[in-house]
Homo-oligomer: A and B are copies of this chain.
Amino acid sequence: MRERDDHRKHRAALLDRLAGVLEQVGFPHGIAKVYAALTLAEGEGLSTGELIDELGISKAAVSNAMQFLIGTNLVERYRVRGSREAHYRILKGRWGDILARKFAATSRIRSAVEEAMVSIDSPAASERLEEMRDVYAFFETEFENVMQRFNERTGR
């Protein structure tokens, strides 16, 4: 069964690559692997046991990852009749939220920099902070517009 073996290896490589992508988005390593496995699942989702087999991790790691993924509303638990195991599937339409959360950092950063500006007296330092503030203020409003267009697009 050389062919099957190749297939399996290829799938594993694909999974690692996708997990790497998700780490770039900001997911912790272990959570990225779980999310990637759920994305590439043949059916609608996977059970705890299937995740343990496919990823070679412990059930504690699965439990931990699910606490994060369910807590952040990216994954949900569901039951399959005839099985006592928990099953997990990816919720659709969550990518907008994931990215919106990242954009939220922009406004936090802007206000933190502004807060720093008030207690600085050196002109040189003020100038550097001002540049930083202006850049982030610009991107903050741009991101708001982008998200609005995104929501209109998906709302249709």
Shortest distance between the CB of A149 and any CB in chain B (Å): 7
Bitwise, A31-69 to B at CB < 8 A (1) or not (0) is 000000001111110000000000000000000000000
Which residues of A from 93 to 108 have beta carbons under 8 Å from B? 93, 95-96, 99, 105, 108
Bound Cα distance A125, B90 (Å): 10
| B139 pairs with A146, CB closer than 8 A | yes
Interface residues in chain A, defined as those with a beta carbon under 8 Å from any beta carbon in chain B:
10, 14, 17-18, 20-21, 24-25, 39-44, 90, 92-93, 95-96, 99, 105, 108-109, 112-113, 115-116, 119-120, 122, 124-125, 128-129, 131-132, 135-136, 138-139, 142-143, 146, 149-150, 153
